[in-house]
């Protein structure tokens, strides 16, 4: 199988690494240059992380790396996959790129928070547009949400399942409502923890320890946010609040201030938990 | 036995009282266990013995340690018997006035340096502390259920809690080999503050047709990494208990996320309280979801 990938986000790099590790040839729709070099380096780094986590065999690493290419693919892809930042303008720009290159191939949007139907509304063939939303890190989370818009045709739906299966994911069908299931449930919870932190309920460490030991969550909410990226979470809040008008989805002021200050979590080396010592937390 | 062993009073021989009694005994402390009912105390001691016996048969506890622990239990229906206690932990009915009044009575019985711990999950430690003439000694200690297995204790500083009582409480929790986190006296503290509205969001998503029992449990357990699906957890907790906790938090916080959705009332009216009645979100005899809508995920 081969796919055309549009977008150079961290999510895109995760998908490229996951696809290559699954034996899928990935062509990044970009001009060769600094940006695409950076993207390849990031995708290779994610592949190395898969090896480190023992999710992928070391001796296949070079083969997998070779599956990630930049520029024009030779054969028609099974699907075009977009993983652009979460705003409609960039999603539609990706749609134009896809239509110019492969007008009859299913267009898979990986949006977590925008409407599949709204993207489809701008497509020349709305039936080709389908969603595959990764609830966590694309290369490690076992689940993917498959999103059918009202316009999505059955062929595109099965193309999306085929791709999900090749990537080793369990498919959960969801309807095209803001945030689908995962973000709809996760975002208000994460926001609530940030708001309570700001109000002085407990220290960041104690909040996370309570959630881990009290509820058995693998990571507390603040560590989850550091890993998602505070900027990525902010983007999700803004998109969901705009659609739902529910204050529980509005980005907490503290989150916005931290993004303003460049404190994005793991990617920037400083967030709620990462890069913060105990004295600073108290 | 630990050299810093203390005499610990536990009030109440219900589920939480039994769990806390086991934790206290396992740490080498002496236990003065008080309940209004002798029958309840007898059942409590039987439950402690059964738990310790199982620990012995699993090789987790030497037999001598288990029998020594049992010999350190003194049961009583008389509050006066708590006079020698270094710490009193109340695990009685979740009622602010009752808990406050009990601490007021203990003021006349216990030494001035005796710590008063209230094990509440949703009530205000400050309102309970107000019942004591020495409210600085009152600290909230919320043990998670089942107490013998869960490592976490939420330590709640009431408005009146003194620094000395707070620090001695941290040392005491440490002696129990538990991990403490410190929280302000806010409704639901940390664990229930974040769990309960998440559960209600899942119920509302189900009622709104955003997903099915199975798909929402798949997302919560597998995609979000929770130890089990939310609906499986709610069936274990019991829908009646979930409603009571939700209402208590809703009345204190006045945020609709905490309000139990109408589906909860419907399930309670139908007697579908969860595992304990054989049916909740799932049917336990047939091991399948019950009443999950047939809403298709395609084309809505």
pLDDT digits (tens, 9 = 90+) for A165-211: 999 999 999 999 999 999 999 999 999 999 999 999 999 999 999 99
Contacts of A179 in chain B (CB under 8 A): none
- Token duo for residue A129: 């547009």
Contacts of B216 in chain A (CB under 8 A): 181, 185
Q: If we measure between CA atoms, which residue out of A95, A93, A132 comes closest to residue A112?
A: A132
Q: Is B242 a catalytic residue?
A: no
CA of A2 to nearest chain B CA: how many angstroms apart?
A: 26
Q: DSSP label at A265? A: B
- What does chain B come to in residues? 300
Contact between A2 and A75 under an 8 Å Cβ cutoff? The reply is yes
Contact between A156 and A136 under an 8 Å Cβ cutoff? The reply is no
Contact between A146 and A116 under an 8 Å Cβ cutoff? The reply is no
Residues 6+ apart with CB under 8 A from A274: A223, A226, A265, A266
Q: Is B171 a catalytic residue?
A: no
Q: Which one of B181, B215, B298 has the shortest CB-CB distance to A202? A: B181
User: Given pLDDT bands bounded at 50, 70 and 90, which one contains residue B294?
Assistant: very low
Instruction: Report chain A's mean pLDDT, rounded to a whole number.
Output: 94
| pTM for the model | 0.93
E strand or H helix at A79: strand A79-82
Please state the rounded mean pLDDT for residues B276-286: 92
Q: Which one from B119, B132, B192, B246 is the annotated catalytic residue? A: B192
**Rounded CA gap, A249 and A262, in Å?**
22
Give the three-state DSSP class for A148: strand
Please state the rounded mean pLDDT for residues B273-278: 95
Q: Write down the pLDDT at residue A58.
A: 77
Distance between start and end Cα atoms, chain A: 52
Q: Is B145 a catalytic residue?
A: no
Q: Write down the pLDDT at residue A33.
A: 81
Cβ <8 Å between B226 and A189: no
Q: If we measure between CA atoms, which residue out of A236, A244, A246 comes closest to residue A190?
A: A236
Contact between B134 and B107 under an 8 Å Cβ cutoff? The reply is yes
Contacts of A150 in chain B (CB under 8 A): 299-300
- Nearest-Cα residue of chain A relative to residue B205: A181
Please state the rounded mean pLDDT for residues B210-221: 97
User: Given pLDDT bands bounded at 50, 70 and 90, which one contains residue A282?
Assistant: low
List C-alpha distances in Å: A236 to A134, A150, A184, B264, B296. Answer: 13, 22, 10, 30, 26
In this predicted model, what pLDDT tens digit does every residue of B118-169 receive, in sequence order? 999 889 999 999 999 999 999 999 999 899 999 999 999 999 999 999 999 9
**Which of B223, B225, B292 to probe the A interface (max A CBs under 10 A)?**
B223
Cβ <8 Å between B194 and A193: yes
- In terms of DSSP bridges, do strands B73-76 and B87-90 run parallel, antiparallel, or are they unpaired? unpaired
Cβ <8 Å between B190 and A206: yes
At how many degrees (to 10) do helices B15-26 and B38-57 cross? Answer: 50
At how many degrees (to 10) do helices A182-198 and A204-215 cross? Answer: 140
Runs of H (alpha helix) within chain A = 10-21, 34-52, 61-66, 88-101, 116-120, 154-166, 182-198, 204-215, 221-228, 230-244, 253-260, 278-281
Does B223 touch chain A if contact means CB atoms closer than 8 Å?
yes
Contacts of A210 in chain B (CB under 8 A): 152, 154, 181, 183, 189-191
Contacts of B182 in chain A (CB under 8 A): 202-203, 206
Q: Which one from B154, B175, B246, B248 is the annotated catalytic residue? A: B154
Contacts of B184 in chain A (CB under 8 A): 200-202
Cβ <8 Å between B184 and A150: no
- Nearest-Cα residue of chain B relative to residue A211: B191
Q: Is B29 a catalytic residue?
A: no
Contact between A192 and A248 under an 8 Å Cβ cutoff? The reply is yes
Q: Which one of A136, A146, A148 has the shortest CB-CB distance to B223? A: A136
CA B192 from centre of chain: 10
């Amino acid at each position: 199988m081969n796919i055309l990938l549009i977008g150079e986000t961290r999510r895109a790099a995760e998908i490229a690494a996951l696809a290559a590790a699954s034996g899928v040839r990935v062509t990044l729709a970009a001009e060769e240059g600094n940006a695409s070099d950076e993207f390849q380096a990031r995708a290779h780094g994610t592949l190395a992380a898969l090896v480190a986590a023992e999710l992928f065999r070391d001796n296949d690493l070079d083969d997998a790396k070779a599956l990630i290419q930049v520029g024009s693919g030779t054969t028609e892809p099974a699907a075009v996959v977009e993983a652009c930042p979460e705003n409609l303008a960039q999603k539609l720009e990706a749609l134009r790129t896809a239509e110019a290159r492969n007008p009859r191939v299913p267009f898979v949007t990986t949006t977590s928070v925008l409407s599949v139907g709204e993207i489809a509304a701008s497509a020349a063939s709305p039936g080709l547009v389908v969603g595959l939303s990764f609830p966590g890190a694309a290369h490690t989370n076992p689940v993917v949400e498959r999103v059918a818009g009202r316009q999505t045709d059955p062929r595109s739906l099965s193309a999306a399942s085929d791709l999900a299966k090749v990537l080793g994911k369990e498919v959960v069908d969801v309807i095209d409502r803001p945030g689908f299931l995962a973000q709809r449930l996760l975002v208000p919870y994460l926001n609530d923890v940030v708001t309570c932190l700001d109000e002085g309920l407990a220290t960041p460490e104690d909040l996370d320890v309570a959630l881990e030991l009290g509820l058995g969550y693998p990571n507390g909410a603040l560590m989850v946010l550091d890993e998602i990226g505070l900027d990525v979470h902010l983007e999700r809040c803004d998109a969901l609040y705009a659609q739902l008008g529910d204050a529980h989805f509005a980005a907490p002021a503290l989150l916005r201030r931290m993004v303003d200050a460049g404190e994005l979590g793991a990617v920037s080396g400083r967030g709620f938990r990462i890069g913060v010592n105990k004295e600073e937390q108290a | 036995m630990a050299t810093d062993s203390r005499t610990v009073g536990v009030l109440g021989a219900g589920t939480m009282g039994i769990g806390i009694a086991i934790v206290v005994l396992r740490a080498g402390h002496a236990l003065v266990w008080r309940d209004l009912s002798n029958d309840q105390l007898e059942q409590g001691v039987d439950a402690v013995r059964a738990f310790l016996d199982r620990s012995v048969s699993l090789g987790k506890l030497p037999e001598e340690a288990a029998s020594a622990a049992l010999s350190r239990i003194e049961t009583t229906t008389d509050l006066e018997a708590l006079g020698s206690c270094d710490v009193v932990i109340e695990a009685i009915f979740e009622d602010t006035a009752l808990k406050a009044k009990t601490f007021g009575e203990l003021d006349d019985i216990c030494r001035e340096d005796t710590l008063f711990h209230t094990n509440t999950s949703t009530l205000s430690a400050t309102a309970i502390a107000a019942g004591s003439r020495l409210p600085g000694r009152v600290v909230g200690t919320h043990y998670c259920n089942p107490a013998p297995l869960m490592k976490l204790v939420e330590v709640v500083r009431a408005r009146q809690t003194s620094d000395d009582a707070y620090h001695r409480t941290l040392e005491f929790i440490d002696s129990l080999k538990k991990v403490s986190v410190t929280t302000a006296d806010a409704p639901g503290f940390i664990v229930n503050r974040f769990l309960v509205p998440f559960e209600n969001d899942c119920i509302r998503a189900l009622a709104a047709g955003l997903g099915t029992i199975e798909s929402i449990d798949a997302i919560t357990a597998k995609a979000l990494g929770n130890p089990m699906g939310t609906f499986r957890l709610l069936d274990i907790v019991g829908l009646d208990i979930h409603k009571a906790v939700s209402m208590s938090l809703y009345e204190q916080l006045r945020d609709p996320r905490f309000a139990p959705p109408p589906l909860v009332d419907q399930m309670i009216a139908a007697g579908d309280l969860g595992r304990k009645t054989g049916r909740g979100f799932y049917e336990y005899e047939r091991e399948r979801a019950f009443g999950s809508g047939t809403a298709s995920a395609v084309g809505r």
